[in-house]
Structure 1
Amino acid sequence: MSGMRDFWRALPTEGRWLLSTVAIQTLGRGLTLPFTIIYLHEVRGFDLALSGTLMGLIAVVGLIVTGPGGSLIDRFGARQVLIVGLVCMILGCTLLAFATHPAVAAAGLILMGVNFGVSWPGFNALIASVVTGDLRQQYFGINFALLNLGIGVGGIIGGFYVDVAEPQTFTVIFLVDAASSLIPMALLLGPLRRVRTQSEPSAADAEHGGYRQILRRPAVIWVSLLTFVAMFVGYGQMEAGFPAFARQISEVSTRTVGFAFAANTLVIVLFQFAVLKWIAGRRRTRVMWVMTLIWAVSWLLLGATGLVPDTLAAAIGVIAFMGVFAFGETLLQPTVPAVYNDLASDHTRGRYNAINSAAFQGGAIAGPIAAGILLDNDLPAVFIGLMVVCCLGIGVMALALERRITPAVNGVVEAQPAVD
């Protein structure tokens, strides 16, 4: 606890504002995250392949807007861009709450995609502008733990509340998700209204600050490929592949799905700070490699639940999958954003984080579509096998990245020479 108190005291006021409201503002997202594909498929009656494709719309739109969004962040500041994104989120969740036709659902998901496309680079640029030095990696990790706390509590509440036989329960949770976006908007209009993320470009920024120049850097290419695959097997499956597999193959209840997300949150909240202390000063790429082995084991565990469907063992296995997967997340989330932001300058931070977001969204596009196609065609073994192979591929990419970044960017603090 003393380490947490020291961290909190070291934060600037703006950093404290950002961190103190994370869990509350993500509660609404937790209500809907585990149940959106269940809502589209089992409540609104869209077939599983269509539901997976609709879920992919969020990432498609996010990918389209994230590039221009990153440039706008560097030009006008993260605050203004984030406010526009939050308005889109509120409208999108409201539309989705009443979506009885695929076109209405698509419109809602497109608006949500606009927000997701700008929120990742926007909030990361905001964080990096107010938190510097060694605090930054710690901040990303603790922010992730609090984000998952909000999502996990929301998942528990949603698991007990929603009922596929009562569509109005899903309407309520999407409206609550819309209302939760008012919290970050109030922060941006109030305590954070003076935070400035844009800066005057240096000569080096003017020459190397465009997307084309940034993407020519080998380190950026490798970390972006790694992010894409990690999102494909990770968060691209949390909204689609995992809930669909758990319901259709493992045959567990929606309540079990909610408990699985709660287990995910519990592991992250309990272990994230200890993990941060363990990885401090270690090569971030080696930490990523350990994460890939943990994720591979978790997917094999989920696959085993399909051998004993509709049993207590299947329910325990589904929950255990999310717990093991979560431990891997505690290794990934502090490291990848820190690499991107340590590669960036103040003037290019929005664009570097936009590239990170684009890789994230790309994996999230492919994830739900692949899950929908494979599971709709009764290929659960192929689905699990693909996830495991991709996990091992991330480890190979991490080692390639290690050869292309400096020790400082890789999280290694070089010893200072002794002074006589």
Structure 2
Amino acid sequence: MKTDSAPRSHDRTESEIEYLDTIINVSKKIHMWPLENPTKREKIKFDIYIWVNFVYSCLIVCSLMTYVTIHYGNIDGVVDTIDHATVFVSGTFRYMYIYFRGATYIQLVEKLRKNFIRSPLFGTYDVNVLYGDYKKAKRLIMFYNTPIFFWIAQAMILPIVKFTGHVVADSINNSLNITAIPFQPPLYGYFPMDVTHMPGGIAFYLFESYAIVVFAIIYAFVDNFWVMTLMLSLAQFDILKTSVESIGKNIERNKEEGELYLSRLEMNEFDSKLKKCIRHHQFLRQFIRLSDNLLNPNVLVDYFHAIISIAFLMLEVTVTLKLGAWARFAHSFQYLMVSIIHMFIFDWVGQELADKEKALCDAFFGLPWYKYPAKKTEITLAILLCSHPLGISGGRTFRLNLEFFTRTIRMIFSYFTFLLQMRSKGENEIAF
């Protein structure tokens, strides 16, 4: 069903931007979004909060890596700790990168609010087709956020449940001694107290729990922000493609059969509409270039982290499954799913971006340029722009797309196989 563009498109796009604004407003409340025109007092408070969290993260990483150094001989015991350490390094980089590039983030959002069109420049379109990718993105975000929530809940609740179970069991047996009851921390790390029992276990639990919650929120915020921002730009490519296609359709409807060339009035109308499309396409390319400039350092760090993290998680899942440690297996498997989904999201968006710009190139080429002998410069320029599509890169070294996702998974499997062989070799040497 074809629908007039203005009313529903405006409402739908407004709701999308409001969803992005909600993400930004939540991040402001937890002091993750850069301040806009702050007072001196607000700036000092914000800086203190940022640097306290940075120091806190460094302490967590030091705690985890010290534990790895002490227990490096037992690979089964340090696999998940190495993985958690890389997560905190990656999360800290994200956090501080937003802090140092805050002005550019604000500029990006302002460009989005100011320049994005809310309906096709001309013509009609199918609302359901136009926003199909946006619906997919929302489902993908929910699919990504759900295991994060369960992973946090399990990490926070499981130690308390186990501790409560010990208390109940000891109470039944009339041998209750609170300080002797084991209290397992969420993560394995070094702490200058006895963390296996009360009260050191509680202190370490609180120390790690704050970091887990904060950095899970950081990951969720950054991923949700970028997915929504990029999906809005993909919707813009759909709107622009619809506008370009409508130029040719309107001309063809008004032409008599057998007439080859355009009248001067039609040429002027064609020229005016085409220039509007090219100007908006130039804006979209500038916006994607700015997005890539902000995102590509994060992507590079995330992919180094993902390769290490997923390979170690696969080893952890294999070991826990073999040992029948079902609680650790569930914990590691959830985290493995989060890591794979996180990597897939950005590769999928990068692929969609390339496909949308290629479709736009086909739309420009499909215009009745053969009936437009006077000025072909605009169409040639548009086709040349589309023939070199932009995309999301990682450190300017690789492009995100589904092919790269497949290559990365193969690389991770190779690394996982190497780790599995190293573990088997270590077991054989111990047995010998």
> What TM-score does the superposition give when structure 1 sets the normalisation length?
0.25
Higher relative contact order (CA 8 A, sep 6+): 1
Bigger Rg, which one:
2
> What TM-score does the superposition give when structure 2 sets the normalisation length?
0.25
